[in-house]
Amino acid sequence: MLPAAPFAIGPRAANHKIAMPTPPLTPLLSQNRAWSESMRAEDPEFFMRLVEQQVPQYLWIGCSDSRVPANEIVGMAPGELFVHRNVANVVVHTDLNCLSVLQYAVEVLKVKHILVVGHYGCGGVRAAMQNMKLGLINNWLRHVQDVQQKHNFQLDKIEDEDARVDRLCELNVVEQVMNVCQTTVVEGAWERGQDLSVHGWIYRLSDGIIRDLSINVTANDNLAECRDAASTKLIAKAHKWL
């Protein structure tokens, strides 16, 4: 059997220029270089300071939604906000990814504030409420459905579907704040007397504003009271926000 002949380029082929499409990632690399240059022009020492240390005061636990960029919407530069994101900003005690981020933030970086930040119109929350069959992610959204079942009495009173989803978005934040507070990482920090607070916020895509859900926990001896107070305030403020 003869070996295959090498690929030959004839005269016509050699002179023919094939237009190659721009790789889809090329614009990202170009934009990165432009960003790097603009940052150095504004602050020549910026990147050197980032190399030396990161000392964020805040851990942000938010949704993976691409429309909710954590640093940008609170006006913080790289190195000022430690971030963990997942679908529907859920905190699960068996999620080693989230717990590892939490432990590093609390025990190594010594953050002073943990921000659980949801957003109105969350697709994950809507999918959970509508019991959509989406495959693997349904196992994850089961945690949001647990929140829904806990608050069905309140949710069933809301006739408008979008408003009902938004209320579940708020209640989900409150429940995830509770979950953060009940982790061994946060409980241990409070037992050591570490200065640490856990807060619940929610972001509205349509105006870019973050709302404080009035749940701010600094110790684990009054968690139920904090949750009940936050839920009561949600009902009182509903006519202003929704």
Give domain status of residue 85, yes or no. Answer: yes
Residue 57 Cα distances to 32, 60, 108, 210, 219, angstroms: 26, 10, 12, 18, 18
Residue 76, domain member (yes or no): yes
User: Rounded to whole angstroms, how far apart are CA atoms 97 and 69?
Assistant: 20
**Residue numbers of the domain that contains 70:** 58-241
Number of domains in the chain: 1
Count Cβ atoms within 10 A of the Cβ of residue 232 and give its class: 0-12 exposed, 13-18 middle, 19 or more buried: exposed
Query: How high is the pLDDT of residue 238?
Result: 58
> Is there a catalytic annotation at residue 119?
yes
Select from 170, 224, 226, 168 the least CA-distant residue to 197.
Answer: 226
3-class SS at 125?
Answer: helix
Are 180 and 116 contacting, i.e. CB atoms less than 8 angstroms apart?
yes
Is 63 one of the annotated active-site residues of the chain?
yes
Per-residue pLDDT at 242:
47
Catalytic-labelled residue, pool 84, 85, 98, 122: 122
Asked, for residue 51, whether it belongs to a domain, the answer is: no
User: Percent of the chain scored above 90 by pLDDT?
Assistant: 78
pLDDT in tens, 113-161: 999 999 999 999 999 999 999 999 999 999 999 999 999 998 999 999 9
Is 79 inside any structural domain?
yes
Residue of 33, 40, 49, 67 with catalytic role? 67
Q: Say which of 84, 85, 119, 199 is annotated catalytic.
A: 119
Q: In one letter, which amino acid is 189?
A: A
**169 classed as catalytic:** no
Higher-scoring residue by pLDDT: 101, 224:
101
Query: Binding residue per annotation — 122?
Result: yes
Instruction: Assess if residue 3 is contained within a domain.
Output: no
CATH at residue 75: 3.40.1050.10
Is 63 flagged in the annotation as binding? Answer: yes
In the numeric block, the tokens 């607070």 are attached to 197
Could you tell me if residue 37 is inside a domain?
no
Global pTM value: 0.86
Residue 119 annotated in ligand binding: yes
Q: Is residue 19 part of a domain?
A: no
pLDDT band for position 74 (50/70/90)? very high
**Which pLDDT does position 15 carry in this prediction?**
60
- Is the pLDDT at 2 greater than 60? The verdict is no
**C-alpha separations of 195 from 8, 85, 132, 187, 223 in Å:** 71, 23, 41, 12, 17
- The span from the CA of 114 to the CA of 185, in Å, is 12
Catalytic residue among 63, 169, 181, 226: 63
Whether residue 50 lies inside any domain: the answer is: no
Active site residue 181: no
